[in-house]
Amino acid sequence: MTKLPPSVIETLKSFLQEDIRSGDLTSEITVPADATGVGTIFSKGSAVLAGVQEVIAIAEISGLDYEVSAFEGNWVSPQEPIVLLRGKARTLLGVERVCLNIVMRMSGIATKVYKMVQAAREINPRIRVAATRKTTPGFRYFEKRAVHIGGGDTHRYALDDMVLIKNNHVAVTGGVANAVKAARENVSFSKKVSCEVRTLQEAIEAIEAGADIILLDNFIPQDVGGVHEVLKQRGLRDKVLLEVSGGVDERNIKDFAQSGVDIISSGALTHSFDSADFNMLLSMT
């Protein structure tokens, strides 16, 4: 059975409804109502597999039987079977594109995340590579789950997960120190306070005001290393987690991993990936 939450099952139902609407016109006029078959989803290239639980859920929603041949988080090879779906041919044809779209996108993200995590951890085995909220509206759960499958950190899922003071909060409240102090005074002890900073001075102000996490935004790796060293010299480095974000990709992630930060977050993980390639072949029974 699927392990997905009920709310996600409802989302998958809406995906099917969006594609099928009142019916699969082509299949209804060409495929006999009593025809049955097996739809086998294959990988057409090498990828870190994600989205199998979603395919299982769609099978259960649609009254199809299924057999899983490959497992999420593992690399799959070209022409490797992933999932077999059995049932009415019209149903198999109706769910084909939704299943493939989900697996292709989730596996593309998982593959990108895996590669970036491995690159960063060659330099620092303890570093975390995290996603951001730069996700597709309506598809965030699946993109965040793909990040987790690829070995990345999902970061905050939504705005209520943690306090993250960004530049516009700072502009409204009149400065980094004011924003952090306001957060500290009004939020539960159970919530971490993170503050985005643009300069070394802002980083120092945020730490002295009580921030738990300092997010260095749009720094180049050399400047991140410089901030790290100054914070060490002032005895401030061990008081916070140090995160960097902005412009991080496969080309420079190793440089950022050498800079002394604890966390590298990258919107590219979920907005600039290449979908993996999968297809489904149908055979009649």
CATH class of residue range 6-109+274-284: alpha beta
Reference 280, options 18, 34, 59; nearest CA is 59
Q: Does the annotation count 44 as an active-site position?
A: no
End-to-end CA distance of the chain: 24
Tell me which CATH code domain 116-271 carries: 3.20.20.70
What gap in Å lies between CA 213 and CA 263, rounded to an integer?
A: 10
Same fold, 6-109+274-284 and 116-271: no
Predicted TM-score (pTM) above 0.85:
yes
What gap in Å lies between CA 14 and CA 139, rounded to an integer?
A: 12
87, containing H or E segment: strand 81-88
Reading the chain (285 residues) residue by residue, the pLDDT tens digits are 888 999 999 999 999 999 999 999 999 999 999 999 999 999 999 999 999 999 999 999 999 999 999 999 999 999 999 999 999 999 999 999 999 999 999 999 999 999 999 999 999 999 999 999 999 999 999 999 999 999 999 999 999 999 999 999 999 999 999 999 999 999 999 999 999 999 999 999 999 999 999 999 999 999 999 999 999 999 999 999 999 999 999 999 999 999 999 999 999 999 999 999 999 999 998
The active-site residue out of 13, 44, 115, 134 is: 134
Cβ-contact 132, 162 below 8 angstroms: no
What count of other Cβ atoms lies within 10 Å of the Cβ of residue 218?
A: 12
What gap in Å lies between CA 277 and CA 261, rounded to an integer?
A: 34
Sketch the domain layout of the chain as residue ranges.
Answer: 6-109+274-284, 116-271
Going 54 to 59 to 62 to 63, the CA torsion angle's sign is negative
